[in-house]
A and B are shown apart, each in its own frame.
With several copies, the nearest count.
Chain A
Amino acid sequence: MALTKEQIAQRIARELKDGFYVNLGIGIPTLVANYIPEGINVVLQSENGLLGMGPFPFEGEEDPDLINAGKQTITTVPGSAFFDSAMSFGMIRAGKVDLTVLGAMEVSEEGDIANWKIPGKMVKGMGGAMDLVASAKNIIVAMMHSNPKGESKLLPRCTLPLTGVKCVKKIITDMAVLDVTDKGFKLLERAPGVSVDDIKARTSGKLIIEGDIPEIQF
């Protein structure tokens, strides 16, 4: 059975290491914060100018001056720091953020990503996505394996306007965990009950399958 969004987030959370500074994008990536493993301390960066993002505030305790990059009201944790947007993207560009998790419309087998624009539709803008993907040293994409029409989002080449080139390192979808390698998408794990053939059928970019592919354990 394909993973739920929560399960995708839960699986991504296993990629976190103690002491990581992490930037989580809007959508599934945001959920990762709910599954940080015991004993692992990570600091969440929000590119609008915060290190040490905490959970949503309690009802009635929202602070209009305290939001995340998705414009949601949030809180801080002890040890947090505020800074301006130039320093925020400065630390991203300088590789100080250890892991960036974001969503995508398409990823190519070379690690290109498209997630900001659909020709013919109203374009809202790239926000900080282009800065993040151009700079982050470790990018995990969290997304559904197929789009709502059932077409693969893992492609030989992206068909949509790019957000960044050769930057995605790992993809975690509802069907599988894959590394982006020089030779294509390397299948690492599969969702419980999802077969390698299912994944093959839904992956239009080059898929590398070596040996036995274990199921993701929950």
Chain B
Amino acid sequence: MNKVVADANEAIHDIQDGAILMLGGFGLCGIPEKCIAALVAKGVMQLTCISNNAGIDDFGVGLMLRQKQVKKMISSYVGENAEFERQLLSGELEVELIPQGTLATRCMAAGYGMPAVYTPAGVGTEVAEGKEVRHFNGKDYLLEYAFQADFAIVKAWKGDTDGNLIYKETARNFNPLMAMAGKTTIAEVEELVPAGKLDPDAIHTPGIYVHRIFQGTGYEKRIEQKTVRKKHP
């Protein structure tokens, strides 16, 4: 059992044209930078990307969009990306927008072996079109199906050689959910340690969900909206 791979190129070597990918992160926070770079370098095309956001023009999933590697985005919010907008309006890119909680829960459902879940999000809106509505305890819910993804690509803070993962702060977001949901799950981490070095009570993603892991180097971790306050003198 060896889950450790040398780098992002090895981790994604068998991702082919037309694959369905999940990519962790919220905005540019907690995104798998190294694997995205490797996917760009490999030039794999016609991808379906399940990712809460679509990055910005020159970072994150936006780098793949720029090379027109993405056939379809499944996201909850895709602003802040001019190239994305151009491709969408020109019909080159297909987009499916779904509520953020529904996106999260459909990932979790896959990881938990639940074929579908009920959520009230989108009832009475165009999101409900074509979906089954069901009434429970005085409220309507939509039936939403678990995602099926060929690969889940996530970014964690620390990981061990057995694939156990710990995320940092709000860089957790969708990462643990997608990690559970991939047929093959690839984790890139800032620090890779031998099995046994992480506190078993503090692990967010147990190694059973992770198939490949590597330590990335030189993380940029770009900030999308730097907001600060002044120090009182």
> Chain A: residues with CB nearer than 8 A to chain B?
18-19, 21, 41, 43, 45-52, 55-74, 76-97, 112, 122-131, 134-135, 161-166
A122 touches B175 (CB 8 A): no
Say whether, besides A59-B230, A122-B89, A164-B124, A86 and B105 are in contact (CB < 8 Å).
yes
Q: Does B6 contact A (CB under 8 A)?
A: no
B125 touches A162 (CB 8 A): yes
* Distance in angstroms between the alpha carbons of A123 and B75 in the assembled complex: 12
* Distance in angstroms between the alpha carbons of A166 and B125 in the assembled complex: 12
Query: Which 10 A-B pairs have CB atoms at the shortest separation, nearest pair first?
Result: A93-B113, A78-B196, A89-B101, A79-B195, A131-B101, A90-B112, A19-B1, A79-B162, A165-B124, A124-B79
* Distance in angstroms between the alpha carbons of A163 and B122 in the assembled complex: 7
Say whether, besides A48-B26, A90-B113, A164-B124, A82 and B223 are in contact (CB < 8 Å).
no
Chain A residues with CB under 8 Å of B171's CB are 64-65
Say whether, besides A58-B228, A127-B76, A85 and B26 are in contact (CB < 8 Å).
yes
Say whether, besides A56-B228, A90-B113, A164-B124, A79 and B99 are in contact (CB < 8 Å).
no
* Distance in angstroms between the alpha carbons of A59 and B227 in the assembled complex: 8
Say whether, besides A51-B206, A51-B208, A90-B180, A62 and B104 are in contact (CB < 8 Å).
no
Beta-carbon contacts under 8 Å, B119-148 to A? 119-127
Number of B residues with CB within 8 Å of any CB on chain A: 78
* Distance in angstroms between the alpha carbons of A55 and B196 in the assembled complex: 16
* Distance in angstroms between the alpha carbons of A81 and B210 in the assembled complex: 13
B208 touches A21 (CB 8 A): yes
B195 touches A71 (CB 8 A): no
B228 touches A73 (CB 8 A): yes
A81 touches B203 (CB 8 A): yes
A63 touches B169 (CB 8 A): yes
A94 touches B119 (CB 8 A): no
Q: Does B164 contact A (CB under 8 A)?
A: yes
Chain B residues with CB under 8 Å of A95's CB are 113
A91 touches B209 (CB 8 A): yes
Choose among A46, A89, A135 the residue that contacts B104 (Cβ–Cβ < 8 A). A89
* B229 nearest CB neighbor, chain A only: A56
Say whether, besides A78-B196, A82-B200, A130-B99, A71 and B229 are in contact (CB < 8 Å).
no
A57 touches B196 (CB 8 A): no
* Distance in angstroms between the alpha carbons of A55 and B231 in the assembled complex: 12
Choose among B26, B75, B206 the residue that contacts A67 (Cβ–Cβ < 8 A). B26
Most B CB within 10 A of own CB, among A89, A130, A161: A130
Min C-beta distance of B139 to chain A, whole Å = 9
Q: Does B225 contact A (CB under 8 A)?
A: yes
* A17 nearest CB neighbor, chain B only: B1
User: What are 6 A-B interface contacts by the 8 Å CB criterion?
Assistant: A57-B229, A65-B169, A94-B180, A96-B208, A125-B76, A134-B119
A59 touches B222 (CB 8 A): no
A131 touches B121 (CB 8 A): yes
Most B CB within 10 A of own CB, among A43, A60, A61: A43
* A57 nearest CB neighbor, chain B only: B228
Beta-carbon contacts under 8 Å, B181-233 to A? 194-196, 200-201, 203-204, 206-209, 221-231
Say whether, besides A66-B170, A73-B228, A78-B195, A84 and B1 are in contact (CB < 8 Å).
no
* Distance in angstroms between the alpha carbons of A163 and B120 in the assembled complex: 12
Min C-beta distance of B167 to chain A, whole Å = 8
* B115 nearest CB neighbor, chain A only: A93
